[in-house]
Structure 1
Amino acid sequence: MSHPDSHFDAEDWPLPLSGRASTISSSTSSSIAIAYSSSPSFPPALSRTASSIGSRSRQASCFSLYDDVCRLPLSNSVTISFVRSNKLFKLRYTYIDIRKDAMGSLKCFELGGGPGQQTPLIHTFNDTKLPVPHLEHPKLPNEASLRISFMDEQTVQSAQTVFTTQISYTFEEWRDCVQFQELILGSKLIFIAGMAEAKSKGRGEECISQNLRALRGHNGKEVLLFFANSQRKELKRYVHIPVNCIDSFNPGKKAGKPVTLQLQPNFDLLSQMKTLNILFLDDSDRIAFCQFLTEHIK
C-alpha cells in the first residue's frame, strides 16, 4: 500500500460515494445494549442513548439485542488513522463503545463525539474471538506507547460507506490507552515494559523490540503476553505464557543481562521453548519485572 503525501481530517470525510462503494440498508434494526458487569478495574459502563446510536440508517448489521456494550469515555481524544482511496485520514473522537456478543467475543467499536462528525464510525471485527490490541512502540519507563493497531484488515463503516482497511488508534493519555486494552481483553494490565529482545532455548529468537505485558483475568489467572515477530517461517503471532507455568527465574544480576525464565512443559509451546531469556530496554524494567515475578510465582 502506498503512503499518501498528506492527511485529511473530518472536513474531508466521508468521501463521496462512487458506483463501487458498499452501502448498508436503511432497514437494519436498532438494538438496546446491555452493559458489562461492573468492576473496580474498569471504567463504568454507560447505557446507550439515542444520540449515540443514531438513526436506523446508520445501524451496523452486527448489532444485536443481546450484545454487551461498554463505553470508554476518554479523558482526551483519540485519533483514528486509516487509508481510503489512497488518502490518509486522521479523525478525532471522544468516546469508544466496545461491543461484545453474549459469549464475550469482540464484535465492533463505535466511535463518536468527534468534532465535525455527524455519524459514528464503526470498526467491525469478523471471525476473531478476541483480537490483541498491538502497541506499535516499546514502552519505556518515562515514555508512554500510545499508538495501537490490529494485525489484520478490518471492516469500517461510516455513514453509508463500508470498506476494509488497516486502522490505528493514537491516544493522548496513557490511562485511556490502558483502559482500551483492558476492556478489549477483559483483563487488568498489571505490568508492561519494552523488550530489546527475547530468545528461547528451544526456538531461538522470539522477538525484537516488542512489549511484554502481564494481564490478570477476572478469574484471577495471570499471563505474560508478547508478539513473536522473529524471522522464522511460521506465522508471526502473539504468545501467551501463564505465570503459573514459570517454574523459576534468574534475575540477570546486573544491567545489560537478560532475565531467564524456566518454563514448565505444561503444553506444547512451553515444551518447545524450555527457557525464555528476556532483555529489557531499560534496566529499571528488569528490576521491576523480577519484583513482579517474586510476588506472583508460587
Structure 2
Amino acid sequence: MAAMRDNSSKTYILAGQAVEPPRLAPGLHLVATPIGNLRDITIRALETLAAADLIACEDTRVTRRLLDHYGISTPLTPYHEHNAAAARPKLMARLGDGEAIALVSDAGTPLVSDPGFKLVREAREAGHPVLAAPGPSAALTALISSGLPTDRFFFEGFLPAKTGQRKARIAELSAVAATLIFYEGGPRVAQSLQAMADGFGPRQAAVCRELTKMHEEVRRGDLATLAQQYAEGAESRGEFTIVVEPPADDEVLDADAVDDLLRRALRQGSVKDAVSDVAAATGRPRRELYQRALELGGHGDGAAE
C-alpha cells in the first residue's frame, strides 16, 4: 500500500483558525456533508476533505460553497448519474496511483439516492481501501423528528414518477411492517402524498421540508389531511422527506395477498428478482417465497439466498 500523503500545505478554517489536517491514507473516502446547516459538518469530514487529493461530487458549485465556508482548496471533479460511466475509470486510475479521493453528495450521506455505489464496488473489487466518515442524513433526521416508530424502518427513496408504477410500488410497500421513509421534490409532493393516502389508507405521517435550514418545517397528520394541505397551497419549495407509520397488525398481508404480489412480480421478471422484490416489501423469508413462486408457475433460476 502506498504511504499516506503529505498534507503539510493543506488546511481548513475552524473558529477562525487555520488547522492542518492529519495525513490521509490512500483510498476512497466516503464523506457525509451537511443537509442544510453548514455547522453540522464533522471534524473528521473537514480533515478528510482538506487532506484529500481530489473530491468527487455531484455538483461542483454546491460542494464549492461548503469548501469556501471552511477555507478548503482541494480540487473538485463532477461525479453524478449523467457522467458516472465516463468519470469512474478516471477516478479508478487515480486510486491506482495511490491517491486519496473523497466522495460526497450534494447533501447528506453519499450513496443514498446517488450513483456512488458502482464506484465503491469497483474500488473494493480492485483492492483499494474504502473508508466511510459518517455524518448527516436527511432520512434519519426526518425519522427521529417524526414522532413515528424508530425501531424498524424501511428507506424507499424516490417513488416512480409514472402514475401506474407509483401506485404499484405503494401497493407493494403497504405490507412492509416498518416505518417508511421517502424522498420527494416540491413539485410532486402533493401528488405523492395523495397516492400514499390512496394506497396506505389513514396512516399517520410526517412531512419534513428543508431540514436543518432556516425555513425548516415538519407537518404531522394523517396522509389524506397532509395531501389536502399541499394540494391547497402549503409551501412546497425545497426538498422533502416523508415518513409514514407502519401498518396496523390487521393490515399485514395474508397468504393470498402475498401470492398476488408474487404473481405480479413474476410477470415482470425472473423468479429470483420476484423473490427479492417481495421479500423486501413483506419481510417474508426468501426461501419460503422462492418455493411459493415455483408453485405459482415460476421457472427456477437458482437457489434462494
Structure with the larger RCO, 1 or 2 (CA within 8 Å, 6+ apart): 2
Q: Look at both structures and tell me which one has the larger radius of gyration over its CA atoms.
A: 2
Q: Give the TM-score normalised by the residue count of structure 2.
A: 0.29
Q: Which has the higher strand share?
A: 1
